[in-house]
A and B are shown apart, each in its own frame.
Chain A
Amino acid sequence: MNKKTEEKNWKLSYSQMIWRRFTKSRLNLACLIFVLFLFLLAVFAPFIANDKPFVIRIDGKFYFPLLRNLQPSDYCIFLAAALTVWYLLRRTPNGGKLNIKNQISKLQCKIQKGMPDSRYSNFAFLYVILLFAFLFLIFVLIFVFVPRRLDAVDYKEMVASGKATDAIFAPVPYGYARTELASCRQPPSRRHWLGTDDVGADVLCRLIHGSRISLSVGFVAVGISVCLGVLVGAILGYFGGWIDFVGMRFVEIMMAVPVFFLIITITAFFPRSFLNIMIIIGVTGWTSNARFIRAEFFKLRRQDFVQAAVSLGLPLRSILFRHILPNAVTPVLVNATFGISSAIFIEAALSFLGFGVAPPTPSWGQILSLGVSTSGRFLWWLTLFPGLAIFFTVMAYNVIGEGLRDATDPRLSKAV
């Protein structure tokens, strides 16, 4: 037991320790898996719920309508998911052990080659900027070159009438934008597993496609708020003095303005676009991140390693973001997880109130708002299922946030 405890505590890097503590609880793991499942659902949504078949045989020839009709946004999402997976895989260290000897020899090589740290960080900065520019270019090219097809062919009718033979449909063979007023407001049945909404669209299909909206809003909005908050908090916390004083007044103003009200107002006034909503939620939510980072920077800027970095003549961005920030980032990480769940909730609330994404883009909140019809009838399937979807998603993120908070609690590391 003695040897094992030693290895447990001393050969792990910080993130590995946190991961170990986080995964000790099965609930945390379950929620993480659920979030992963949601991810897969969102990324592969067009393959799971689509009214176009994968392959259909018309007059002896095979056609692939589903694959041909993928929208540029689908491609963007595939690319983004692939990049994320690749990035995560790259970061997983091999064997899970911190190889200190290897790192020391690498450092020795660097010193021998005479590469001062500041020059290295210059290159790294450029490299990162170029990488982001390149990615951005690819996304723009996707939008330019992938044609937005509007295929209005009703393949199901073709199969029914016999014009086509042998078609393989997706598991949920309905389109999220396809309206069938004949079958509107149907409770769950064998044809429509979760019922239909007020224009006849299948609820399950809209839920699946709606997960894309929810998850994207969560991540992009939180990404924006974290970036903004970290930037502002870092500058305020590091410099202090009158910069901090003026900056904090500004942050206080942002905090005192009623946020939800502001969001509603802005979304009501600006054109209803998905991007707008993400940006608004991000721009109104950065204040708490800024406060956390500022508090941490206040604590850390007096430490010796900061003085050492300054005395080496490192550029400011290197000190702030390569040296201090990794030490200060933990509360922001926890806050970001809660921010994702709160962003999902705000987006659902906005769609519920009618200010969110415009139909036919599916959104969980929008389906929820149809729960009580104009005649006062309570359509329970339009209330229960999107509500459950929102509930489970938000709860999963909340549990992960709680688990992260417990795992990074500094008190636990004092034990023994």
Chain B
Amino acid sequence: MKQDKVLLSVKRLSVNFFAEDAVLEAVQDVSFSIRKGQTFALVGESGCGKTTTALSIMQLLPAGQSKIVSGEIIFENQDLLKLSEKQMRRIRGNRITLISQEPMTSLNPVHKAGSQIAEAIRLHQNKNAKQAWADMVEMLRRVGIAEPEQTACAYPHQLSGGMQQRVMIAMAASCKPALLIADEPTTALDATIQVQILSLLDRLQKEIGMSILLVTHDLGVVYKRADVVAVMYASRIVEKAPKGQLFAEPFHPYTQGLMQSLPRLGVSVKRLQTILGAVPDPLHFPAGCKFHPRCPIGRKDRRCQTVEPELKEVQPGRSVACWYAPGCVTNNQIRNTKIN
């Protein structure tokens, strides 16, 4: 594997949310790095903290209710958490950009689609209105919109879901960012459009040479597009591996459970496999390993129930947070235990 430069390095990031009288630890001790040109996928169920992690890179979390309590986010040799708001604004939209989940609500309904894209171009690239408009039309053509001038003059509610998402992508890619954060970009779209949007992202990535942080809960998307995958559960990263190795041989029991629950084409089963139990309430995380109540090993093991495992590198490029992962443990009998 060619050793590209590390573009973004998140070190031990922790984010807390403040509800009425409770403190919610949404993200605990998350560390990962993204290299140049790489697609890094952050996978997990709803509420596991992946969106919060992505937003905290751009520091777009709601100000009064959340706080980044610790950690470092090193991007292009700067710690983003130490930058002033003004400096951060120069990076947002310019070097790091965001695509959101719902394109309909993410576009301002009272402004034309084109002017929203041109706004970003004018802000970061010091061009006048005419040049920005021309750039914007060109960008719309690049994202595959057939009639860019018409679309540019339309309002968001007049466009279809797929076109809205293309407009969002155009907005994000217009300033040729180094990192594109895609927060569930295809969840709100039809299946056929999903494929188109994903290939578009792929193409743009190769053209611009940007990295993509893909936040999703769809393992199919991850399998097709990601290079490196990090699995999050209950505010922590439990496994991090290159895509091929993760899908071939998952180490963490949670990842194993996820893979086994995927229905496979051509294999007929009477019942789909599930992981017993439910995601824990963020206000009452279990002690020790957060997955232990649902884990066949952890249910019976005292160490899993009391001590939280750290994310440890067990092979070059692979990390797991489990006491019984291969390379972590001496218990050979338990290592190859299948779930269910």
Q: Which parts of A368-416 form the interface with B (CB within 8 Å)?
A: 415-416
Which of B18-26, B35-43, B127-135 forms part of the interface with chain A? Answer: B18-26
The 0/1 profile, CB within 8 Å of B marked 1, for residues 174-212 of chain A is 000000000000000000000000000000000000000
Q: Is the CB of A2 within 8 A of B284?
A: yes
Q: Which parts of B251-306 form the interface with A (CB within 8 Å)?
A: 282-284
Q: How many A-B pairs with Cβ below 8 Å?
A: 13
Distance (Å) between the CB of A248 and the closest chain B CB?
A: 26
Q: Which of A1, A2, A416 contacts B24 (CB 8 A)?
A: A416
Q: Is the CB of B284 within 8 A of A416?
A: no
Q: Determine if A92 is an interface residue (Cβ-Cβ < 8 Å).
A: no
Q: Is the CB of B19 within 8 A of A415?
A: yes
Distance (Å) between the CB of A2 and the closest chain B CB?
A: 4
Number of interface residues of A (CB under 8 A): 5
Q: Which parts of A41-70 form the interface with B (CB within 8 Å)?
A: none
Q: Determine if A25 is an interface residue (Cβ-Cβ < 8 Å).
A: no
Residues of the A chain whose Cβ atoms lie less than 8 Å from the Cβ of B19: 415-416
Q: Determine if A112 is an interface residue (Cβ-Cβ < 8 Å).
A: no
Residues of the B chain whose Cβ atoms lie less than 8 Å from the Cβ of A416: 19-20, 22, 24, 282-283
Distance (Å) between the CB of B302 and the closest chain A CB?
A: 22
The 0/1 profile, CB within 8 Å of A marked 1, for residues 149-166 of chain B is 000000000000000000
Residues of the A chain whose Cβ atoms lie less than 8 Å from the Cβ of B282: 416
Distance (Å) between the CB of A23 and the closest chain B CB?
A: 14
Q: Determine if A5 is an interface residue (Cβ-Cβ < 8 Å).
A: yes
Q: Which parts of B1-33 form the interface with A (CB within 8 Å)?
A: 19-20, 22, 24
Question: Interface centre among B19, B20, B24, B282, by most A CB within 10 Å?
Answer: B20
Q: Which parts of A1-42 form the interface with B (CB within 8 Å)?
A: 1-2, 5
Assembled-state Cα–Cα distance A205/B127 (Å):
76
Distance (Å) between the CB of B24 and the closest chain A CB?
A: 7
Residues of the B chain whose Cβ atoms lie less than 8 Å from the Cβ of A5: 22, 283
Residues of the A chain whose Cβ atoms lie less than 8 Å from the Cβ of B20: 415-416
Q: Which parts of B215-242 form the interface with A (CB within 8 Å)?
A: none
Closest to B17 in A: A416
Distance (Å) between the CB of B225 and the closest chain A CB?
A: 33
Closest to A24 in B: B20
Known: A415-B20, A416-B283; 11 extra A-B contacts, CB below 8 A, are A1-B22, A2-B283, A2-B284, A5-B22, A5-B283, A415-B19, A416-B19, A416-B20, A416-B22, A416-B24, A416-B282
What are 13 A-to-B residue pairs whose CB atoms are below 8 Å? A1-B22, A2-B283, A2-B284, A5-B22, A5-B283, A415-B19, A415-B20, A416-B19, A416-B20, A416-B22, A416-B24, A416-B282, A416-B283
